[in-house]
Amino acid sequence: MVFKEFKIIRVNLTREKIRVEELDEADARLFLGGKSLGTLFIYREVPPGTDPLSPYNKIVFSAGFFNALVPGASKISVVSKSPLTNLIHDSSSGDFFGPLLRKAGYNAIIVEGASRDPVYLWINNDHVELRDASKLWGKDTSTATRMIRTETSEKASVAVIGPGGENLVRYANITFDIERAAGRGGLGAVMGSKKLKAISVYGDRRPPSAYPEKVKELGKKWYEYFSTNPRFEDTRRYGTTNALLYSAHVGMSPSYNFKKPWIPEDLAAKLAGDEVKKREVEPPWYIHGASCPIKCARYTRTSYKGEEFEVKPEYENLAMLGAATGVFDTDAVLYFNRLVDDLGIDSISTGNTIGWFLELVEEKLIDPKDYGIEVKGFGDAKAVEELIKRIAYRKGVGAILAEGVKRASMLLGIGGDRAVHVKGLEAPAWDPRGKRGLAVSYATADVGASHLRGWPRTRDTPSKGPAKDVVESMASSRDWDALMDTLGICRFVSYKKDAVVEFYKLITGEDASLDELLLVPRRAEVLARIYGVLDHLHPPVDDDIPRRWMEPEGEGPLKDEKAFISEEDKIEAIRYYYVLRGWHPELGVPLPETVERLGLGWAREDALKALQVVSRREI
């Protein structure tokens, strides 16, 4: 029953046409929702070679399959061809958008074409319309969200872009309800290229399920478990803001553009939990997601240079805007966080790219005066603030940095050996020199450098043994994480595996094993891989890590550690991953029989073509 009721809103901005479609039942079963379903749409509807910022690219908002039914299932995946990497990219966000889209009766929104003038989409249960957004264009994300809610509904969830997206910054994000973001891959720039300022959604109907009362009963049980279990107390108290103490202690922080992954505890503490906690407030307008049993979101109120503001920091914001740039002034970094949120640019890519630029200045490889800006080097908070603004509006050197660290290094003709990215996606705040096998995850992830694509289950450092030995656990973690992105479950609401299977059975009324469910994200990974190869990806050459991570750590408990023992260790581990996935062991392309085994026989010819393409490329 459930699989026959998948509804998709298709919006053609060029023609100003909206229609509601039913999804093929077979596709619904094979891909479910979230990341996986969104990947299917882009694979089928956006040909390889398409310019991501052209009208021919599409962007999909794909609700998690468990949205609005299961506690903690609040995530929606946004999927498109990334203007930063030219790969199929998915990025997820909560709290309300996905559940409200499902309550309105829809599983996904597909936006295609491009509008001549700024518009936004308003979805109110069965009513769907495009509205003029001219007076919203140019507004920051906070202001635009409040204006749209006034025009639509105060109960609506709003996904909006800021000036960064409007100005096509290649790592512009999409902000949801002021304080959440689909942050990575430049998906906000895709919206900006389409003149789509926002989508506002409201729904008040519970999604269908085979056994609704049993789903509610099981949900209450697990809500109680997560909201009271002492195991989650630290997350409830700090959210993710205390993580710099850990990453710095074990030599995994991004400090000073990943030059110093170990820093002293007293320095890390300036951007960590207790220091942030001093500024914590509970804004009267903020409501925790009703479905979330942990409620880890933490707001702060502080001031910087006389300006008072509120912001919800996370580890990645603090580490990349602060530690990576060498700025350890708490209020300054919180202000940077507020600034990138309002301007609509990714905190990870922004901090990474600015950190790289500061290193070039620090090492006297460039003279910032040549680019019309005064920069002292690491720790220059005034320069970081100015660079954030210039990036969002593409002014001066900001126009170069807005291209991302890979392109910026090519444009400047310098610093490529210091650019910390994989496949063009800037690295997040976890240096893999502190965990054996983590670099394999970065090297092989479908989107590029991401900390959300599988972690090896080990406490060993890379020097403790071959990376190959922990690849299987990393692959298992990747499958589970991708399944959570498909179902829409937040990573911090860590369900036991049998509970996820039980929820699936009660919602669908059908039996399924965990192994069968884990095939769903595997299908998406295979399609993303084939697509990337047919577009431009050249494995195994592109399945690599930045030079910096093969430089030995200089100090701290992990002194002399590298991401891999050797180049041979790296090659062996990556090839082993290919074998585990059923890909060609040397070319890194899914084999036709693997595609068939996953129920994707219709993509077999594409797999064969991808193998031929890679085999013809020169290494």
What would the 3-class secondary structure string for 360-380 be?
HHHCCCCCHHHHCCCCCCCCC
Complete edge-to-edge strand list for the sheet that includes strand 196-202: 127-132, 119-124, 196-202, 157-160, 174-176, 180-182
Q: Exposed (0-12), middle (13-18) or buried (19+): which is 235, by Cβ within 10 Å?
A: middle
Low-confidence ranges of the chain (pLDDT < 50): none
Q: What angle do CA 47, 61, 192 make, to 5 degrees?
A: 75
pLDDT attached to residue 387: 98
Residue 257, C-beta contacts closer than 8 angstroms, at least 6 positions apart: 324, 325, 352, 355, 356, 358, 359, 378, 418, 420, 548
CB atoms within 10 A of CB 182: 27
Beta bridge partners of 196: 119
> HSE on the CB side for 372, CA within 13 Å?
8
Expressed in percent and rounded to 5, the helix, strand and coil fractions of the chain are 45, 15, 40
Q: Are 373 and 396 in contact (CB under 8 A)?
A: yes
**What ranges in 378-417 are assigned the alpha helix state H?**
381-393, 397-401, 405-412
Q: Are residues 321 and 400 in the same domain?
A: yes
Q: Exposed (0-12), middle (13-18) or buried (19+): which is 476, by Cβ within 10 Å?
A: middle
For residues 322 and 379, give the distance between their C-alpha atoms in angstroms, rounded to a whole number: 8
- Check residue 552 and report its DSSP letter: P
- CA dihedral of residues 415, 386, 404, 352 (deg, nearest 10): 70
User: What's the structural domain count of the chain?
Assistant: 3
Instruction: Supply the DSSP string of 169-229, one letter for each residue.
Output: -TTB-EEETTTEEE-STTHHHHHHHTTEEEEEEE--SPPP-SSHHHHHHHHHHHHHHHHH-
For residues 37 and 31, give the distance between their C-alpha atoms in angstroms, rounded to a whole number: 5
Specify if 116 maps to a domain.
Answer: yes
Residue with the two structure tokens 């309002």: 342
pLDDT attached to residue 315: 95
Q: Are residues 236 and 290 in the same domain?
A: yes
pLDDT attached to residue 618: 63
Helix H, strand E, coil C: the string for 17-67 is EEEEEECCHHHHHHHCCHHHHHHHHHHHHCCCCCCCCCCCCCEEEEECCCC
Specify if 220 maps to a domain.
Answer: no
Q: Are residues 454 and 374 in the same domain?
A: no
- Check residue 590 and report its DSSP letter: B
The maximal CA–CA distance of the chain, rounded, in angstroms, is 67
Looking at residue 96, its amino acid is: F
For residues 130 and 123, give the distance between their C-alpha atoms in angstroms, rounded to a whole number: 9
Residue 499, C-beta contacts closer than 8 angstroms, at least 6 positions apart: 218, 222
- Indicate which CATH number applies to the domain containing 263: 1.10.569.10
Please give the backbone phi and psi of residue 56, each rounded to the nearest 5 degrees, phi first: -85, -15
Q: Are residues 415 and 443 in the same domain?
A: no
Instruction: Using the 3D structure, point to which of 158, 186, 202 is the last residue of a domain.
Output: 202
**What ranges in 424-554 are assigned the alpha helix state H?**
438-444, 471-487, 497-508, 514-535
pLDDT attached to residue 295: 77
Range of the domain at 606: 435-616
Q: Are residues 113 and 253 in the same domain?
A: no
Q: Are residues 322 and 235 in the same domain?
A: yes
Q: Are residues 413 and 470 in the same domain?
A: no
CA distances from 63 to 261, 505, 512, 517 (A): 36, 19, 21, 17
Q: Are 180 and 233 in contact (CB under 8 A)?
A: no
Instruction: Using the 3D structure, point to which of 426, 452, 472 is the last residue of a domain.
Output: 426
Q: Shortest CA distance to 70 belongs to which of 499, 610, 510, 407? A: 499
Q: Are residues 458 and 571 in the same domain?
A: yes
Instruction: Supply the DSSP string of 110-145, one letter for each residue.
Output: EEES--SS-EEEEEETTEEEEEE-TTTTT--HHHHH
Express each pLDDT in 258-295 by its tens digit.
999 999 999 999 999 899 999 988 776 556 566 788 87
- Indicate which CATH number applies to the domain containing 149: 3.60.9.10
Specify if 417 maps to a domain.
Answer: yes
- Pull the structure tokens for residue 213: 């009362």
Residue 328, C-beta contacts closer than 8 angstroms, at least 6 positions apart: 267, 270, 271, 322, 379
For residues 248 and 254, give the distance between their C-alpha atoms in angstroms, rounded to a whole number: 8
Q: Are 242 and 270 in contact (CB under 8 A)?
A: no
Angle between helices 405-412 and 347-362 (to 10 degrees): 30
Specify if 538 maps to a domain.
Answer: yes
pLDDT attached to residue 286: 59
pTM above 0.95, yes or no: yes
Q: Exposed (0-12), middle (13-18) or buried (19+): which is 24, by Cβ within 10 Å?
A: exposed
How many residues belong to the chain?
619
- Indicate which CATH number applies to the domain containing 457: 1.10.599.10
Express each pLDDT in 184-236 by its tens digit.
999 999 999 999 999 999 999 999 999 999 999 999 999 999 989 888 888 88
pLDDT attached to residue 94: 82
pLDDT attached to residue 6: 96
Q: Are residues 148 and 15 in the same domain?
A: yes
pLDDT attached to residue 292: 83
Q: Helix and strand tally (H, E) in the chain?
A: 25, 17
Specify if 222 maps to a domain.
Answer: no
Q: Are residues 359 and 486 in the same domain?
A: no
Q: Are residues 109 and 42 in the same domain?
A: yes
Q: Are residues 102 and 65 in the same domain?
A: yes
Specify if 392 maps to a domain.
Answer: yes
Instruction: Using the 3D structure, point to which of 386, 401, 426 is the last residue of a domain.
Output: 426
Q: Are 467 and 569 in contact (CB under 8 A)?
A: yes
For residues 618 and 304, give the distance between their C-alpha atoms in angstroms, rounded to a whole number: 53
> HSE on the CB side for 72, CA within 13 Å?
26
pLDDT attached to residue 289: 60
Q: Are 69 and 59 in contact (CB under 8 A)?
A: no
